[in-house]
Amino acid sequence: MSFSVGLVGGRGYVGEILLQLLLQHPTLDIAWVSSRSLKGRSVRSVYPALPLDLEFESFSPAEVAENGTDIVVLALPNGIAGDYVAAMNASQKVVDISADYRFEDSWAYGLPEHNRDAIRGSGRVANPGCYATTVQLALAPLIPALCGIPSAFGVSGYSGAGRTPSPRNDPERLSGNLLPYSLSGHLHELEVSHHLHQDVRFMPHVAEFFRGISVTISATLQEPVNETALQDRFSEFYANEHLIDITSEFPEVRDVVGKPGALIGGFTVDQRDTRRVCLVACLDNLLKGAASQALQNINLMLGVDELSGLGAAK
């Protein structure tokens, strides 16, 4: 059995990567790709590496609904998804990659490692943000043991800023540089705090590398711990998760680029106060931070193997 997929927003980095993943999926067929700025151009002319014989459409919300597919992926800037969602009928499943529905209780929050059952039964899934995914994966095993508010220091490659020119994706501005921004109240800080039911402090930065995320967590626990017990806690928590790997070493961005999962490690306990712990989580912002996570959600929504099309096995 095969399923049809339509993609709205094929111009961005995430749209391109998602098309790559969909093309290697055994049971998903790309029915159409919509991008207002690329209308009429062949997919091959824009992405020569993609063997996809389609032209970009420029579908309105009504046309997306009329060109019915089993599932629609919305890879649009924040604030645009609503008109498309309103036009679609209840039988059309939707994955929204923007932030528009991440706080909506009527939508399943698409972090499979924490919310798999809700995703399976949903026709509407909000894909998490890239930083939000990293921080939640790194903090979730600690939530019951936390004392106080944890902090997360994040560094992302500039692909996270998208293709529209800005200081955060300007190679000249970023050359030999590290650019902090939104150090309080960042959308992903609010997202993490909301879904973990735990206040979190998050400080994002962008670096001169293209893709990947590294987040360093600092937290205080209710009881003292040692590094072996801390790592064991994470290994047990993610023992059955094929896309989450635990290591005693410090994860590096280059370890995760091009891979559909996350790497958590570098478990450190402050010997001056053995309740204070630090750890590092890394993932590819275009994959587990966006496209491969979207494909996990699509698979769950359609009732196929969650890892289908990802080529991932632990």
Residues annotated as catalytic are 130
Residues 131, 128: Cα–Cα separation, whole Å:
9
- Say if CB 22 and CB 30 are below 8 A apart: yes
Q: Report the distance separating Cα 28 and Cα 302, nearest Å.
A: 10
CB 127 within 8 A of CB 110: yes
Q: Report helix, strand or coil for 138.
A: helix
Q: Number of helices and strands (H, E) in the chain?
A: 10, 14
Q: How far apart are alpha carbons 31 and 39 in whole angstroms?
A: 15
| Nearest by Cα to 71 from 306, 292, 310, 300 | 300
Name the E strands within the chain: 3-8, 28-34, 56-57, 71-74, 93-96, 108-109, 124-126, 151-156, 178-180, 201-207, 213-220, 244-246, 262-269, 276-283
* Inter-residue contact 7 to 18 (CB < 8 Å): yes
Q: With contact defined as beta carbons under 8 Å apart, do 260 and 292 qualify?
A: yes
Q: Considering only CA atoms, which of 26, 25, 27, 7 is closest in space to residue 16?
A: 7
Cα angle 86-90-91, degrees, rounded to a multiple of 5: 130
Element (H, E) at 260: none
